[in-house]
Amino acid sequence: MSKSGEVSWKSENLGKRRWTFVVFLGILILHGLAIFVFTRGFLLTRTELSQYSHCSDIQQSPCFSPPQDDQMVNHSKGCWTKPAVDRIVIIVLDALRYDFVAPSTFFDEKKPWMDRLQVLHKLASQPGSFAKIFKAIADPPTTSLQRLKGLTTGGLPTFIDVGNSFGAPAIIEDNLIYQMAKNGKRVVMMGDDTWVQLFPQHFNISHPFPSFNVKDLDTVDDGCVEHLFPYLYQEDWDVLIAHFLGVDHAGHIFGVDSTEMIEKLEQYNGILEKVVDVLESQSGPGGLHENTLLLVMGDHGQTINGDHGGGAPEEVETSLFAMSLQKNPSSLPSETDSSSCRLDMEKRKICTSSIEQLDFAATVSALLGIPYPFGSIGRVNPELYALAAGTWNLDIFTPEGGINLSGSERWMQNYVNVLCMNTWQVKRYIDVYSAQAHDNWLHTKEAVLNCKSESCSTLLPQLKKQVEAYSNFLSSITALARSKWTEFNLKMMGTGLCILVLSLFVHIFIIKKLDKLCSCYLPCGGNFVVSFEAIFAYAAVLIRSFSFLSNSFILEEGKTASFLLATAGMLQLRHAIVKKKMFLEGLLFVLVVPLLRFGIELGQSKQAVNSLFLKSFASWTVSVDNGTNLWIYVADILPFLALVILAYILYYKSIRHSSCRGIFKLVAVGTIFASSLIALAWALDGNLFSPSTVIVDIKAYWIPRIIYVVGLLQLFLLAISQLFGKEKTSGWEEGTIVKATAMLSAWSSTIIILSGKQGPLVALAAVIQGWCVIRLMTLERAKNDYNDSSTSYSSPVAKWSLLAVCLFFCTGHWCAFDGLRYASAFVGFDEFNLIRQAALLTIDTFGFSHILPVMGLPLIVACRRHPEVQAEKRKPLFFLQLCQVYLMYGLTMAISMTFTIICVTIQRRHLMVWGLFAPKFVFDAVGLLLTDLFICLASLYYFT
> What pLDDT, on a 0 to 100 scale, did the predictor assign at position 90?
96
Q: Name the pairing type of β-strands 131-137 and 349-356.
A: parallel
Burial class of residue 693 in the structure, from the number of CB atoms within 10 Å of its CB (0-12 exposed, 13-18 middle, 19+ buried): exposed
What does the radius of gyration of the chain's CA atoms come to, in whole angstroms? 33
Contact 95, 248 (CB under 8 A): yes
Identify the weakest region by mean pLDDT among 178-187, 407-416, 570-579, 804-813.
Answer: 407-416
Which of the four pLDDT bands, split at 50, 70 and 90, describes residue 164? very low
| The CATH fold of domain 55-392+403-484 | Alkaline Phosphatase, subunit A (3.40.720)
Contact 383, 353 (CB under 8 A): yes
> What pLDDT, on a 0 to 100 scale, did the predictor assign at position 73?
38
Which of the four pLDDT bands, split at 50, 70 and 90, describes residue 234? very high
Contact 351, 340 (CB under 8 A): yes
Which of the four pLDDT bands, split at 50, 70 and 90, describes residue 449? low
N-terminal to C-terminal alpha carbon distance within the chain = 22
Phi, psi of 409 (to 5 degrees): -65, -40
> What pLDDT, on a 0 to 100 scale, did the predictor assign at position 76?
47
Cα atoms in the 13 Å half-sphere on the side-chain side of 641: 7
> What pLDDT, on a 0 to 100 scale, did the predictor assign at position 926?
94
Domain ranges of the chain: 1-44+489-522+872-944, 55-392+403-484
Taking only the tens place, the pLDDT of each residue in 21-77 is 899 999 999 999 999 999 888 875 555 667 788 888 888 888 877 765 443 434 445
As beta bridge partners, residue 241 has 90, 189
> What pLDDT, on a 0 to 100 scale, did the predictor assign at position 726?
59
> What pLDDT, on a 0 to 100 scale, did the predictor assign at position 200?
86
**What integer is the mean pLDDT of 839-866?**
90
> What pLDDT, on a 0 to 100 scale, did the predictor assign at position 337?
66
> What pLDDT, on a 0 to 100 scale, did the predictor assign at position 37?
93
**390: which DSSP letter?**
T
Residue burial 782-808, b: 16+ Cβ < 10 Å; e: rest: eeeebbbbbbbbbbbbbbbbbbbbbbb
Would you call 756 helix, strand, or coil by DSSP? coil
Query: How far is residue 807 CA from its own chain's centroid?
Result: 19
Would you call 522 helix, strand, or coil by DSSP? coil
**Cα–Cα distance for residue pair 888/863, rounded to 1 Å:** 18
Return the top range by mean pLDDT from 235-239, 323-327, 681-685: 235-239
Contact 661, 749 (CB under 8 A): no
Residue percentage of the chain with pLDDT more than 70:
76
pLDDT at 286 over 80: yes
> What pLDDT, on a 0 to 100 scale, did the predictor assign at position 610?
29
**Cα–Cα distance for residue pair 140/34, rounded to 1 Å:** 26
> What pLDDT, on a 0 to 100 scale, did the predictor assign at position 490?
84
**What integer is the mean pLDDT of 337-352?**
83
Contact 261, 251 (CB under 8 A): yes
Closest by CA to 298, choosing from 271, 321, 266, 325, is: 321
Higher pLDDT, 713 or 863: 713
**Cα–Cα distance for residue pair 752/4, rounded to 1 Å:** 48
What sign results for the dihedral spanned by CA atoms 561, 562, 563, 566?
Answer: positive
Contact 612, 805 (CB under 8 A): no
47 Cβ partners below 8 Å, 6+ apart?
none
Taking only the tens place, the pLDDT of each residue in 126-158 is 876 688 999 999 887 787 888 888 899 887 766
Query: How far is residue 406 CA from its own chain's centroid?
Result: 51
DSSP 116-144: --HHHHHHHTSTT--EEEEEEEPPSP--H
Taking only the tens place, the pLDDT of each residue in 31-40 is 999 999 998 8
Which of the four pLDDT bands, split at 50, 70 and 90, describes residue 630? low
Cα atoms in the 13 Å half-sphere on the side-chain side of 546: 6
pLDDT at 677 over 90: yes
What sign results for the dihedral spanned by CA atoms 803, 805, 808, 811?
Answer: negative
**Cα–Cα distance for residue pair 382/334, rounded to 1 Å:** 11
> What pLDDT, on a 0 to 100 scale, did the predictor assign at position 516?
83
**What integer is the mean pLDDT of 861-872?**
71
pLDDT at 374 over 60: yes
pLDDT at 474 over 80: no
Closest by CA to 85, choosing from 185, 153, 1, 229, is: 185
**What integer is the mean pLDDT of 545-569?**
89
**What integer is the mean pLDDT of 491-504?**
94
**Cα–Cα distance for residue pair 621/253, rounded to 1 Å:** 10
pLDDT at 899 over 60: yes
- At position 806, the amino acid (one-letter code) is C
- At position 677, the amino acid (one-letter code) is L
Higher pLDDT, 743 or 445: 743
Taking only the tens place, the pLDDT of each residue in 236-274 is 999 999 999 999 999 888 889 889 999 999 999 999 999
Taking only the tens place, the pLDDT of each residue in 754-787 is 998 889 999 999 999 999 999 888 776 544 444 5
> What pLDDT, on a 0 to 100 scale, did the predictor assign at position 398?
46
Higher pLDDT, 683 or 886: 886
CA 822-824-829 angle, to 5 degrees, is 105
Contact 436, 468 (CB under 8 A): no
What sign results for the dihedral spanned by CA atoms 28, 31, 32, 33?
Answer: positive
Contact 315, 303 (CB under 8 A): yes
Greatest Cα pair distance, the chain, in angstroms, is: 119
Which of the four pLDDT bands, split at 50, 70 and 90, describes residue 524? low
- At position 608, the amino acid (one-letter code) is A
Phi, psi of 330 (to 5 degrees): -80, 155
User: How distant, in Å, are the alpha carbons of 479, 550, 551, 690, 791 from that of 546?
Assistant: 33, 8, 11, 54, 22
Contact 654, 664 (CB under 8 A): yes
Closest by CA to 528, choosing from 884, 887, 788, 793, is: 788
Instruction: Pick left, alpha or beta for residue 241 (phi over 0 → left; psi -120 to 50 → alpha; otherwise beta).
Output: beta
Query: How far is residue 825 CA from its own chain's centroid?
Result: 13
pLDDT at 484 over 60: no
Higher pLDDT, 691 or 793: 793
**Cα–Cα distance for residue pair 56/495, rounded to 1 Å:** 47
Taking only the tens place, the pLDDT of each residue in 695-734 is 778 888 899 999 999 999 999 999 988 887 655 555 677 8
Higher pLDDT, 654 or 101: 101
Return the top range by mean pLDDT from 161-170, 485-494, 511-520: 511-520
**Cα–Cα distance for residue pair 645/639, rounded to 1 Å:** 10
> What pLDDT, on a 0 to 100 scale, did the predictor assign at position 674?
93
pLDDT at 529 over 80: no
**What integer is the mean pLDDT of 465-469?**
71
User: How distant, in Å, are the alpha carbons of 51, 195, 245, 428, 444 from that of 157?
Assistant: 18, 17, 22, 20, 35
> What pLDDT, on a 0 to 100 scale, did the predictor assign at position 254?
84
> What pLDDT, on a 0 to 100 scale, did the predictor assign at position 609?
32
> What pLDDT, on a 0 to 100 scale, did the predictor assign at position 167?
46
Return the top range by mean pLDDT from 25-39, 120-134, 553-567, 864-878: 25-39
